[in-house]
Structures are given as structure tokens and as C-alpha cells.
Amino acid sequence: KSVLSPTEAVKLGSFNLFTMSIPSESYVYEEEGRLVLNEELLSNPLYSNLIISSDGRYYAVMITIADGNELKSDALIPELRSVLDSSGVESYRLIGESVANSETFRSIIDLTFKYPPFILLAIMAVYVIKFRRISLSLLTLVPPLAAVMVIVGIMGLMELSINSLTVMIPSFIVIIGSAYGMHFLSRFEENIHMKNAVRRTVHEERVPILFSALTTMAGFSSYILLDMKAFQEMGIFVCSGIFLSAIFTITVLPGLVTSKAATKREVSPPRDVNPVVKRAVIWVVIALSIASPLLIITIPMTIDQYNFFKEDSKIRESARTMKEAFGWLTNYALMVEPAEGGSISLTSVQLENLEALEEELKGIEGISKVMSLFDLSRETNVPLPLMIRALNSTDVFGDSTSLLVSDNAIRFNLFSSESDSLSAERLKAAVEKSIGKFPELHKNFDFTLAGTTLIWKSVNSSVVNNQIQSLIVSFGLIILLLLSIFRSLKSTIIATIPILLTTLFNFVFMAFFRISLSISTALISGMLMGLVIDYAIHFTIWFRRFGDSRKAYEQTARAILTNGLSLVAGFSVLLLTPLLLYVDVAKLMVSGLAVGMILTLILLPEIASRSERFLSGAKDSG
């Protein structure tokens, strides 16, 4: 749409009353075959620390993308880099929302094609250790990979675009869905010496697998209830993929296994957890649960688009350079429009108040520069009303006129050194307070503060608030599913203990890792609830069959441990991604899944063995 650089900067002269125009000359002139920059540009309040640093070491080119092209940054930024490289520009840094979007898109492409093989290898490694056979390990991946093919095919037919959320769908389906095949094949190994081993395995595992899938889907259903389309798409397709993985596990997988595919291995029963370790875990859980309110209130409640990237990334380096050289990193537009519409018409009192408002804005903490029409007016000694008329009727200021004025609005450009949503919220409150000091202006004009960071703040707040409501709905669905499985309130309550503690500990880990409660991390609790409940379902179903916590532990401990380790291994691959957004998700998922697994293997057997009501309510569900 427009480009503002030192070569486009103009030095304005005094207003000519006869021609009703403002003479201008460029700050760049030719001397001995070279382009020379007039040093007066460094002291021009309009341009200094905007397109040139105050010490003259850095130049900046401000590029405004035309309307309708905001979502084409994945093509525009590479094209811009190509132009700069072909022009012989040796050293440059790109910064801005479009650059961040382009870098995010590159990471999405990597996550689509580069990381899934490593996720498969990580999961395979765990299953090879578990089964000691590559063939069985490969079979665990058949159902989720088949589900991924179906889901990706449907997404292709619907022509859905890939974004930072939907790119995770195949990985989630594979990581989660492979556990169902592992549970089935583990049970098949146990039954291999029996008659009709496959049929018996299907009979024993179909209920745990199906209900595990349903409860996991209940956890992911929290995304479907959010207002944003990307979240809804991810929730719908992940839930569909998980359900297909479970269906394929109990329908397709039995036809792929034979007595030759597995052999009965003599495996010693899993060891009981050392009593000292049990007590230590219980006391740690109690201590952290008590301390959790104090830890949770320290969780950062802000979002910063640049913090989606790692500290050593190019975009973070560019952001630091921009902040050091020019003193700002993000900008806001304060639009002033007549309350009754129409063109701008200002009285002398209103002019004085607007100029006083500008001084108030300059004094707000976090604002390093304010650019407005008053800068031009003071430089040229042209009264503001005449300046507005001249800019709207001539092209003396070029395409950059829209940065200052239009037919019906005056624009104050506010530049801030902070780019996080919390600072944006404080800045907005301070601006509104400054405007409130001028009731006459507030009465006759409408003020609108706009900026990308404010949009991020609004979206983030909406997602976090909606997620709390949707988590309650998801937890309610899980409770209903557990009641339908166990038909016992006591069994249901006990089975939910690990997910409640895991959800609580998720927020503790956020405080520990200093991870903000944002769009991405708000999703973790729902995922953890849906995944950790799988462990409890398998243990509780077998406990109700045997009526003996020891036998239930022996039947499920190895499978739960393998399931947990495979999930941890799969999500650990995301720690290697360049986007800190996914790294934070991986940290919380890995720590949450590990805690959920430990709590299930230690707390549930302990609670079950001590609960006489639970024991007396146990019954054979087979």
C-alpha cells in the first residue's frame, strides 16, 4: 500500500498563501554521483527514531500492506527478502506482524512434514522396548495412521487451510491413537496361549479402549465450544481421528495379528512401588496441592507475539535490535473523529486541547514516541486547519498522508517499547485516562485506539475465559461417561482423582516454567484430562473385574507405563521445534502426562486397596 523510508522523507517549507500549498524538498540529494542524506533528518521530530535512528546508524523502511493482503505474508515476506537480496542489500533485519506470521508459517510447514517422522520414531522406540519385536511395534501405528489418512483426506476435500492449530491434528491422532493398539497387543500377548486368543482379546479390551477414546474425546471437545474456527476445527478433527483410531483398533487390528505375530513371554509381575517412594509422592502431592494457590497466582497472564519464538531466533534478535536502535517495537493508532460524523473542523479551544492531549500521551509510561499532525504544524509554522486542508488536497506528503490525517479523522501514532498484551492493556487504560482529562474533546469527538497487540489481548482473553467454561463442560462429560461405565459414584470419584490432580499440577508447572496462560497453554488442561483418564479407566475396569487392587495393578501397570512413556516420547519431539509456542505446549504435556501416570500407578492402587466401599462395589463388568 505505501512505503516510507529516508528516501521518501520530505523537508517541508512555509505555507504559501498565494498557491495554498507547502513547498517541499527531499532529505536525500545527489552529490558527485552518490546519494547523500541531509543530517537535518536526524533532528526532525517526525522522522527521527521512526525511519532513522537518532544516531544515524540505522535506517528503517516502513511498509504498509494493502487491504486484503494481510493474510498473504507467507508469500509476501519471502518475495521481499528476494528483492532485498537481489538489490545488493547486505545487512538488514525484518520485523513486524507479517514477518512473525511468515516465520510461524515456516514452522507450520516444518511441523507438517519434518517432525511427524521423528514423532513416529520416538513412539516406535518405546514400543520396541515394550514388545521386543518390530512387527508388533509397527502394528500399533496402523490404526492411528489409517485414521490420519481419513481425516487429512476429509480436510482436503473441505479445502481447509493449515494453521498453527490444525497442523497439530495428525500428530495428536498418532500420539494418542497408537496407545489403543498398544493396549490391544499387550493383552493379546497375555492371551496368546489361550483358545480364540484374538476374540478373547477383543472382548476384554473393547470396553476400555472405546471408553478411553470417548473420555479423551470429551477432553478435546472443550475446543469445539470455543468461538474461534481454528479451535473448533482442531477439536472436531482430533476427536474424529481418536474415535476412528479406537474403531480401527478393535475391528482392523484383530485381522492383522496371528499367533505367529506374538509369542507368550514369561514376564515377571510388575514390582510394587517402594513404600518410602509412595509416602514421598503422597506428601509431595499434598504439599504442592496446599501451595498451589500461591503458585498459580504467579502465572503470567500476558501474550507477546515475539515470545512465540525462541530467544536465539532471528525474529527475536531483530526485535531486540529494533528496540535498542529506535526505542520502540510496536505501534498504536489513536483515531480522533467528529462524534456527529463529517469532515474534521476544529475550534481554537479544541486545537489547544488536542495539543495538550498529545503532551499527555508523550508522558505515558511505555510510550517512547508520538507522531501526529502537530509535528508538521510546528515544523512549518502552518496552522493545523490549513495543514489538514493542504495534506488532503495535495500529495506533498505522499502515501504517508494516511498515517496522519484523512477527510474525517486525525491520527496520533503512538510507539511503544513493549509488545506484550499486559503492557498494551495498561497503555490503553492510560490513554483513556488522558482523554478523560479533556471533557470537551470527549464530548465532541470519538476516540478509537487500535493496534495488533490489543487484538491479541482481546483474542487471548476470550479464549482463556471460554476455555474455563468449556473445561467444566468437558469434565462434566467425562463424569457422565465414567458413571455409565462403572455405575458407581464412588468408583467415578476415585477414577477422577488423577485428572483433577494433573489439571491442578498443570497450572503449578506453568508457574514453575514461567509459561503464560495464553491461547496455546489454555488448551493443555483439556488434553490432559482426556489423556490421563485413560490410565484410570484401564485400572478401574480391571479392578472391578477382579475386586483386587493387586491383581488390577499387575494387569495394567506395564501397559499404563508404556502408554505414558509413548505419549511423553511423542510430545517430547515438539521440544525441538523453533516455535516456543509448541515448546511450551510440549513442556506442559510431558510434565502433565508423567505426573498423571505416576499418580495413577501410585495413588489409585493405594486408594482402591483402602476403600472398603469401592471394594464392595466392585463387580465383574465382563
CA distance 329 to 333: 14
How many CB atoms within 10 Å of residue 35? 11
How many CB atoms within 10 Å of residue 614? 23
Is the distance from CB of 547 to CB of 618 less than 8 angstroms?
yes
**3-state DSSP helix/strand/coil percent for the chain, to nearest 5?**
65, 10, 25
pLDDT for res 620: 43
pLDDT for res 131: 86
3-class SS string, 261-329: CCCCCCCCCCCCCCHHHHHHHHHHHHHHHHHHHHHHCCCCCCCEHHHHECCCCHHHHHHHHHHHHHCCC
Is the distance from CB of 10 to CB of 396 less than 8 angstroms?
yes
How many CB atoms within 10 Å of residue 416? 23
All three cell numbers of 98, joined, read: 507479517
Is the distance from CB of 233 to CB of 165 less than 8 angstroms?
yes
Phi-psi region of 327 (alpha: psi -120 to 50; beta: other; left: phi over 0): left
How far CA 204 is from CA of 210, 534, 537, 542, in Å, comes to: 11, 15, 13, 10
pLDDT for res 477: 84
Local mean pLDDT, 10-residue blocks, the chain (622 residues): 78 68 77 80 85 87 74 77 84 84 79 84 91 88 95 91 81 91 88 84 88 86 78 90 95 82 58 82 90 89 83 88 90 89 81 91 91 83 77 66 79 91 91 92 90 82 71 83 81 83 90 83 80 83 79 85 90 87 90 91 80 48 41
Strand partners, 334: 412, 449
Pairing state between β 24-26 and 2-4: unpaired
Domains of the chain in start order, with CATH, are: 2-104 (no CATH), 105-308+456-616 (1.20.1640.10), 318-451 (3.30.70)
Phi-psi region of 323 (alpha: psi -120 to 50; beta: other; left: phi over 0): alpha
pLDDT for res 430: 95
Predicted TM-score of the model (pTM): 0.80
CA distance 482 to 211: 8
